[in-house]
Structure 1
Amino acid sequence: METTDQPFKEYPPFVRIHNDGTVERHTGTQTLPPSPLSDAGVSSKDVVISPNVSARLYIPHSALSSTKKLPTLVYFHGGGFIIESPFSPHYHPYQDALAAKAGVIIVSVNYRLAPEHQLPAAYDDSWEAIKWTVGLSDEWLRDHADLDRLFLAGDSSGGNIVHQMAMRAGETASSEVRLRGVVLVHPFFWGPNLSDTENEQSGFVEKLWKLFSPDVGAMQSHWVNWEAEGATPLTKLGCRRVMVCVAELDFIKKKGKEYYEALKESGWEGKVELVETEGENHVFHLFKPDCEKARVFMEQVVSFLNQV
C-alpha cells in the first residue's frame, strides 16, 4: 500500500517509480542470448539499428546456404509499452519457433520503453526499424529477404504498434514500405462502450496510460481508440490482408473484435479475418507455448504468413 511519504509509486505488476525518477521494473527484464544454430534449426543474431533501436534477427539456418528469398516479418513485442524485449525468455523461443515453422526471416524490434520514453517514442522507433528492414541494411536481409512478402506482427501493445505502423505505411507518400499483410495478436485498443470486464479494468488501464501518454486519457487517445479525435481513418490502412487474433478470456477481447468489425465496415479495400482461441487468456501462447491451443494458434499464424 502506498502512503503519502513513500519515496516511490507502485504500478503493479510492472514497475516502481522512485521520486528521483529511477524506474525499477518488477518483471520482463530477463534475457536470453541469440544462437548461431538453435534446436529448431534457426540462426539468430543481435543488430544495432540506431542509438535508440536494436533488433534480434532470425533466419532458418538452411537458408544461409541458399539463394532462396524468404517472407520477411517485422515483429513488435508486448508488455504494455513498459516491459519486455525481443530477448526475453518469452519472446526469443517464440520467434525462434515461428521462423522455423513459417520459413521466414524475422526482425524482432527492441524499441524504447515508457515511462522513460513516452509515446510516440515506441512508434517512432518501430517505424525506424521497418525502414531499416526495407533498406536491406543487413546481409541476411540483402541476401534472403523477399520484400514483396513483407509482414508485420505483434502482440498486446505490440499489436497496437502493428496497427499504427500499417497506418503510417498507408499515409506515407512513397512506396518504400509495401506490406503484404499484418497480424494483430490480442491487440491493445481502448475506448467507449466498454464491457463489464473492461470496466472493471478501466482504472488500471488509465493509471498505466499516464505513464506513457499523460496528456490525454486512454479513452480519448487516438493511439488506442481508432474513433478518437485525430485518429486516421481506417481506410488508410496500408495493407490488403489483416489477421486479428483474440482470446476468449482476455479482458480486451471485445475491443479486438470491435476493431475487426470496424475495419470490415470502414470501406477499407482489403480482407480481414478474425481468429478467436476459446478458453484462453491474454498472450497464452507465450506463457504456455507447448499446449495444444498454442500449437494450433502457431499453425494459424504460419498459414497466414505463407499464403500466396
Structure 2
Amino acid sequence: MASAAVEHPLPTAYDDAWAALAWVLENARHGSGEPWLSKHGDSSRLFLAGDSAGGNIAHNLAMRVGQQQEHGVRIKGVALLDPYFLGRYVSPGAERAWGFICAGRYGTGHPYVNPTALTAAAWRGLPAARVLMTVSDQDRLGPFQRAYVDALRGSGWGGRARLYVTPGQGHCYFLNNLDSPKAAMHMATLAAFINGS
C-alpha cells in the first residue's frame, strides 16, 4: 500500500502547527521563559501565512483557532499563497496524491483539503479580520483557490477577503524566480497586506 510510506500523515502537520502557535503565544507573554519573544513579540499583530501545503496548514490552523477559542487568540490576517486545496472531483493523480498525504484517511471532499465543504457557520468562526488569497492563473489548483474566496465571502464572515491573481504563472512560481517583476509584485502585495494597506 503506497500510503503506508507516509510516516506522519495528516493531521500531524496541523497538530504540530497548533503546538507551535500555542508555544509562541505562551512565550510572548511578559515574564515568560523566552525573553526575546516576550520583549519583541506582539500577539495583537498575529498573522498566519503559507505557500502551497503551508497555505493549507495556515488555513486549517486558523480554523482550529476559531473552533478551540483558547488563549483568546485573534488573528489579524491569514495569507494563503497558492495554497494546496482540492475539490470533491479531481483528477485521479490528484486524488492519489491526497490519499498518500493523509494515508487514505480523508477523501477529497474533506474540509482539510476542500474548504468549500465547510458550513457557512464554520466560515463565520474564522477568527481573522482579513484573508489574502494569491492565485497563479496557470496553477491547476486555481479553481479551488478561487472557490475558497467565493465560499468565504458568501458565508457571512465579517472580515475582508482579497484575491490577488498573477497572470501567466504556475504554482508558487515566486519561489523559483524571486527577482522577477511578478514575484516582486507578489511580495509587495503580501507586505501591503501585513502592513494593513
Query: 2:34 & 2:94 partners in 1: Cα distance?
Result: 38
Q: What's 2:85 paired with?
A: 189
Where 1:162 maps in the other structure, the secondary structure is helix
CA contact (8 A) 2:120 2:155 kept: no
Q: What's 1:211 paired with?
A: 100
Q: What's 1:44 paired with?
A: none
Q: What's 2:63 paired with?
A: 167
Q: What's 2:9 paired with?
A: 118
Query: 1:229 & 1:291 partners in 2: Cα distance?
Result: 36
- Check 1:274–1:229 CA distance in 2 against 1; reply closer, same or farther (3 A cut): closer
- Alignment pair present for 1:263 and 2:152: yes
Q: What's 2:167 paired with?
A: 278
Where 1:237 maps in the other structure, the secondary structure is coil
From 39, 53, 56, give the equivalent of 1:157: 53
CA contact (8 A) 1:153 1:184 kept: yes
Query: 1:185 & 1:256 partners in 2: Cα distance?
Result: 9
Q: What's 2:21 paired with?
A: 130
CA contact (8 A) 2:121 2:155 kept: no
Query: 2:76 & 2:53 partners in 1: Cα distance?
Result: 21
Q: What's 1:233 paired with?
A: 122
Where 1:251 maps in the other structure, the secondary structure is coil
CA apart distance, 1:230? 8.6
CA apart distance, 1:191? 1.4
TM norm structure 2:
0.88
Query: 2:146 & 2:111 partners in 1: Cα distance?
Result: 18
Query: 1:288 & 1:212 partners in 2: Cα distance?
Result: 27
Where 1:135 maps in the other structure, the secondary structure is helix
CA apart distance, 1:235? 1.2
CA contact (8 A) 2:131 2:162 kept: yes
Deviation per CA, 1:232-285, whole angstroms, max 9, x where unpaired? 721111111110110011000111111111111101111111111111111111
- Check 1:288–1:229 CA distance in 2 against 1; reply closer, same or farther (3 A cut): closer
CA apart distance, 1:168? 1.1
Query: 1:173 & 1:232 partners in 2: Cα distance?
Result: 15
Counting aligned pairs with the same residue, the percent is 37
- Check 1:232–1:191 CA distance in 2 against 1; reply closer, same or farther (3 A cut): farther
- Alignment pair present for 1:298 and 2:187: yes
Superposition map of 1:75-90 within 5 A = none
Where 1:208 maps in the other structure, the secondary structure is helix
Question: Once superposed, which parts of structure 1, at least 4 consecutive aligned residues long, lie more than 4 Å away?
Answer: 229-232
TM norm structure 1:
0.58
CA apart distance, 1:216? 3.1
CA contact (8 A) 1:247 1:278 kept: yes
CA apart distance, 1:217? 2.2
CA apart distance, 1:207? 1.0
CA contact (8 A) 1:186 1:283 kept: yes
CA contact (8 A) 2:138 2:168 kept: yes
Where 1:190 maps in the other structure, the secondary structure is coil
Bigger RCO of structures 1 and 2 (CA < 8 A, at least 6 apart): 2
RMSD: 2.2
Paired residue total: 191
Deviation per CA, 1:147-176, whole angstroms, max 9, x where unpaired? 111100001111111111111111123343
Q: Which has the higher strand share?
A: 1
From 148, 170, 177, give the equivalent of 2:44: 148
Deviation per CA, 1:41-73, whole angstroms, max 9, x where unpaired? xxxxxxxxxxxxxxxxxxxxxxxxxxxxxxxxx
Query: 2:112 & 2:121 partners in 1: Cα distance?
Result: 10
- Alignment pair present for 1:224 and 2:113: yes
